[in-house]
Amino acid sequence: MPMLCAIDFNNLHTILRSLYDEMMPLCGDMAGVAQGIAGLGALFYVAYRIWRSLAAAEPIDVFPLLRPFVIGFCIMFFPSVVLGTINSVMSPIVQGTAGMLEGQTLDMQKYREEKDRLEYEKMMSDPSTAYLVDDAEFDRQIDELGVTEVGTAAGMYIERGMYKIKKAIQDFFRELLEMLFQAASLTIDTIRTFFLIVLAILGPIAFALSVWDGFQSTLTQWICRYIQTYLWLPVADLFSTILAKIQVLMLQNDISELTNNPNANLDSSNTCYIIFMIIGIIGYFTIPTVAGWIIQAGGAGNYNRAVNNTAMQLGSGAASVGGAVARNAAGQIGKLLK
C-alpha cells in the first residue's frame, strides 16, 4: 500500500501546467512562417476583391479588406493577444471549478475522519470486538484468560488476524481504485495539455491559412477547438466535485447510522463506495464528449468515439476485476472464519 500512496498526483498536474507555460514561447518560432503565408494570402485576398469591384464598376468596400491585416496583427502578437486573451477569459472558470472541488474534498476528508472515529468508538464500546481494534485491550483480555482457556485465546488470535486481513484487503482495494481514479484524471489532463500545446504552437499557421479564400472557417474552428479542449479541466473538476459530494452524503449517512443505530452494518456502504469509484473511472473518459456539448467543434468526433469505446472496455474490465477480487476475498475470509 505505501507504493500506491507514494504517487503525488497533484505534483504531476502541476508539472503539466508548467509544461504548457514552458512550451508557449515556441509560438514565436511559427509566427515568422505564418506571417509569410498570411502576407501572400492577404495580397491575393485584397487584389481579388479590388479587381472584382473595378470589373463590376462598383465602389470598393474597404472594411472587408481590413480582415487580413487584423489577422496579421494577431499572428505577430499571438502569445499575448490571442492565447493571453482566451486564457484570461477562461481562467476564472477553471479557478471556480477548482474551488468547488477543493471545498468538497475538504468536507469529504473531515467526514471520513469522523466516520473512522465513530466506528472505532463503536467497536471499543463492545468487549467482544474491542480487542480487534486495540492492542492494549487485546493484551488485557489475553492476560485475563486462564491456563485452561488456551482454545479461547487461540480463537481470539485467529479472529483478530482475520479482522486485520479483511481491513487490509478493503484498504488495498479502496486505495487501488482511488489510484486508478487519479490515473484517469491524469490521463485526461495529459491529453488536454498535449492538445493545447499543439493548438497553441500551430495556431499562427491556422490563422495565416484563414486569410486565404476557402479557408476562412479555419479561424473559427481553431478557436472552438482550443476553447473546447481548455474546458476539459473545468468539466473534470465538476465531475470530481459531484463524486466527492456523493461520497460526502454517503459518509453523512454512515455517521448517522453509527450514531443512532448500535447494530449498524457498513459493509453495504463500502460496496457502494467501490461502485461509485468504478463509475468515476469510466466517467472520466466521457469528459471530452461533455465538453463538446458546451461548445461544438469539428474534427474531434473520431477521437471522442475512440475515448468512449476505450472507457467502456476499461469499465467492463475494472468491474470484472473488482467483482472477482471482492468475491475471492470474501470467500477466503469466510473459509478462514469457519
Residue 239 and residue 246 in contact, taking contact as beta carbons nearer than 8 Å:
no
- The reported pLDDT for the residue numbered 3 is 44
- The reported pLDDT for the residue numbered 146 is 63
| Separation of alpha carbons 294 and 298, rounded Å | 13
Q: How many CA atoms lie within 13 A of 121 on its CB side?
A: 10
Residue 32 cell numbers, joined:
515568422
- The reported pLDDT for the residue numbered 326 is 42
DSSP characters over 63-119: GGGGHHHHHHHHHHTIIIIIIHHHHHHHHHHHHHHHHHHHHHHHHHHHHHHHHHHHH
Residue 288 and residue 304 in contact, taking contact as beta carbons nearer than 8 Å:
yes
- Consecutive 10-residue averages of pLDDT for the chain (338 residues): 55 83 79 88 88 84 87 90 90 89 84 84 77 75 68 79 83 82 86 91 92 89 92 90 87 84 71 82 87 72 48 46 44 40
- The reported pLDDT for the residue numbered 7 is 62
- The reported pLDDT for the residue numbered 210 is 92
Residue 222 and residue 199 in contact, taking contact as beta carbons nearer than 8 Å:
yes
- The reported pLDDT for the residue numbered 162 is 86
- The reported pLDDT for the residue numbered 228 is 92
- The reported pLDDT for the residue numbered 312 is 45
> What angle do the packed helices 67-76 and 27-55 form, to 10 degrees?
170
| Separation of alpha carbons 51 and 200, rounded Å | 35
| Separation of alpha carbons 54 and 78, rounded Å | 35
| Surface-to-core class of residue 153, CB atoms within 10 Å of its CB (0-12 exposed, 13-18 middle, 19+ buried) | middle
